[in-house]
Amino acid sequence: MLGEDFVVLSLVPILIAVLAALACALPGNFLLLRRQAMMGDMMAHSVLPGLILAFLLTGQVSGWVMFVGAGGAALLSALLVEAITKLGRVDPGAAMGMTFTTMFASGVLLLELTGASGVHLDVEHALYGNLESLIWLDAQGWASLLDAEALAGLPPELAQLAVVMVLLALLMWVFWRPLVMASFDAGHAAVLGLPVGMISLGIVAATAMASVAAFTAVGSILTIAMLICPPAAARLLTNRLGVQVWLSLGLATLSAVLGYVLAGYGPFWLGFSASVSAAGMMAVVSGALLGLAALFGPHRKAG
């Protein structure tokens, strides 16, 4: 029974990691096509001050309040990039780099100055997340999957990520054609009357939504990795966008599951006495898959 309980306990963090990876991979495909991969990096780092301010205002460290705070910070970062690009007349990539470093550093300072680092909000959690702690404490074997009382004890991050992932998938399905046209040839899409500016804003909003939802559970390192690595690896394996999206989802899932297993058991197989960060190992696996695709993929030139 202990072994069964252990599998059920591990199922929830694995599922959370998979949902986070899928949610990030969906907009990541279009960021890659539009050569805006830096946008994902910016969003993943910029949400930290929003999380801290939400905690200071409400005293809560989880749930939709934190999601709103992080979303506000992501929106602010997007506005700052637009303002810096237009007013300062600098390259958008440079504007993103300036924004995410400033926002993340501001969050670190807020952590130190307000004492929020003592309530599961610290730089380590910002980088690696708290995936290992998102276990289903009320689980009593597989029967818990049919127990309403036990299901009520599931970590809220699971439902939050599930809602975001399904919403992003539905939006991509509904707006697939305009997304594809605006991403491949924005000029032609504008001539056809498509709202290219609104489509670009929608991709930024989707990236922010995915980053915010994933950040609180898996941290910035894995969020950035899943926004970029699975879509980039898939791009090296095919020239068809539809196939690329499905491949990226498969690679994201593989990275999450294999990374979690290797984080828990890999060090012991190599003779070490302790496990390593699950989010860090998942990011390593996603990078390794991208490396393999770069070496052996039939389409080795991405973009």
pLDDT tens digits along 80-104: 887 888 787 777 778 888 887 888 8
Asked if 86 contacts 155 with a C-beta cutoff of 8 angstroms, the reply is no
CA angle 207, 209, 213 (to 5 degrees): 120
Please give the residue that has the higher pLDDT: either 79 or 250: 250
What digits encode the pLDDT tens for the residues 201-237?
Answer: 788 888 888 888 887 778 778 888 899 999 999 999 9
What confidence tier does 120 reach under pLDDT thresholds 50, 70, 90?
A: low
What confidence tier does 165 reach under pLDDT thresholds 50, 70, 90?
A: very high
| Residue 147 predicted with pLDDT over 80 | no
The least confident of 67-76, 99-108, 137-146, 171-180 is 137-146
Asked if 81 contacts 207 with a C-beta cutoff of 8 angstroms, the reply is no
Q: Mean pLDDT for the chain?
A: 79
Measured CA distances, 258 to 105, 250, 254, 280 (Å): 32, 12, 6, 12
Note the pLDDT of residue 1.
Answer: 40
What are the backbone dihedrals phi and psi of residue 110, each rounded to the nearest 5 degrees, phi first?
A: -60, -40
Q: What percent of the chain has pLDDT over 90?
A: 21
Encoded amino acid at 15, one letter: L
What confidence tier does 137 reach under pLDDT thresholds 50, 70, 90?
A: low
Note the pLDDT of residue 296.
Answer: 84
Q: What is the pTM of this model?
A: 0.81
What value does the mean pLDDT take over residues 24-37?
Answer: 87
Q: Where are the domains of the chain?
A: 2-219
The least confident of 14-23, 90-99, 255-264 is 90-99
Asked if 168 contacts 23 with a C-beta cutoff of 8 angstroms, the reply is yes
The Cα 182–Cα 200 span in angstroms is: 8
For helices 92-114 and 37-46, the axis angle rounded to 10 degrees is 20
Note the pLDDT of residue 6.
Answer: 56
| Residue 136 predicted with pLDDT over 50 | yes
